[in-house]
Amino acid sequence: METTHRTDQQRSADQRRRELLEAADRVVLRDGPQASMNAIAAEAGITKPILYRHFGDKGGLYRALAKRHTDALLSALQQALDAPADRRERVEATLDTYLAAIEARPQVYRFLMHPSEDTGGGQHSEQGFDIGRHSAPVLRRMGEELAKVIAERVDLGPNSEVMARVWGHGIVGMMHAAGDWWLGERPCSRTELVKGLADLLWGRLERVDDKEGGPGF
């Protein structure tokens, strides 16, 4: 009976946390990097101390939102990589999936990747919140996940595992830097950017062999 009670409490806490993250998402979609704990608490219909009780501070909330959105993005990227198409088409689909995601929710992207100019004071001040310190793990996680896919699918020769990580982090870095520039300036269409990035990647990718028995890249 006690175990069941704890399980029910945990389910209730998990549900409440999801509701708070959904409220935070709504504020981030509206306010972008300027989303504040005050606004999120108001959106959720709670006081700010209750929000702190769940997440600790803005950094804790950021990490929870980052995981939520990174999980969804990685799932979409995996689907693009697994699509029944030739390698070049899957490369382009993967690049396009990333760019489509940041284009569809630019305020979320900016909240996750760009610092805000928050001010304030007190124990739970948002001043000085270092988004770069928190966003770097998001990019590292994406790089490691892509590296696993590359290691499983293509033969990069001697030291293949390390080279897969080089490729994984290099591709993620390229997507992030190019996507950030493109989202801010819109110098070309998304299709043109995808083609240009795929051309940049394609020289070596075209020549590597798929691993035997693997799904191919």
Amino acid at 63: R
| Averaged confidence pLDDT in the chain | 85
Q: Percent of the chain beyond pLDDT 90?
A: 52
Q: Rounded to two decimals, what is the model's pTM?
A: 0.81
CATH number of 62-210: 1.10.357.10
The answer to whether 41 touches 58, Cβ cutoff 8 Å, is: no
Domain boundaries, the chain: 62-210
pLDDT digits (tens, 9 = 90+) for 14-53: 888 899 999 999 999 999 888 899 999 999 999 999 999 8
Contact 89, 216 (CB under 8 A): no
In this prediction, residues 114-118 reach a mean pLDDT of: 59
Write down the pLDDT at residue 117.
47
Please report which helix (H) or strand (E) contains residue 183, including its range.
helix 160-185
CA distance 58 to 64: 10
Query: pLDDT value at position 57?
Result: 85
Burial class of residue 151, CB neighbours in 10 A (0-12, 13-18, 19+): buried
pLDDT of the residue at 206? 74
- Given pLDDT bands bounded at 50, 70 and 90, which one contains residue 158? confident
H/E stretch holding 209: strand 209-210
pLDDT above 70 (res 125)? no
* Structure confidence by residue, pLDDT tens digits, 42-87: 999 999 999 998 888 888 888 899 899 999 999 999 999 888 889 8
